[in-house]
Amino acid sequence: MKLISWKFDDEIYAPKDEWNWVEVTLTFEDGSKRWSILYTPERLRNNLSRPGIHPPGLFVPHMIIVRSYETNDVELTLRYLESEGDLLIATRPLE
């Protein structure tokens, strides 16, 4: 399945101490849509550094870690995952 486009579902600009992830929706050539969670290393670190976080770790099979939320970084990452055959594994169907 070929990726046609993608879009941010959440606001990407936030305070330096933000810890929430950003969701994206991807559209494929057959019209299907999938979604995934994007995390930057900084936001992931902020999340895991929160006082009293329980459990002190997480597992999300549809999480993609990107260097930044710059459009080019996200685009290159998604296209790389697509070229490696991993994009469907890294996303979930949008229902």
Q: Model-level pTM?
A: 0.93
- Which of 3, 64, 65 is closest to 28 using CA atoms? 3
Domain ranges of the chain: 3-93
pLDDT above 90: residue 30: yes
Residues in the chain, total? 95
For the chain, give the percent of residues with pLDDT over 90.
Answer: 98
Q: Is the pLDDT of residue 66 over 90?
A: yes
Closest CA relative to residue 24, chosen from 32, 40, 39, 36: 36
7 touches 25 (CB < 8 A): yes
- Distance from the Cα of residue 26 to its chain's centroid: 11
Query: Is residue 88 predicted with pLDDT exceeding 90?
Result: yes
- pLDDT at 44 exceeding the cut of 90: yes
Place of tokens 């970084």: 73
**Which band of pLDDT confidence, cut at 50, 70 and 90, is reported for residue 1?**
confident
* pLDDT of 34 higher than 90: yes
Please, what is the average pLDDT of the chain? 96
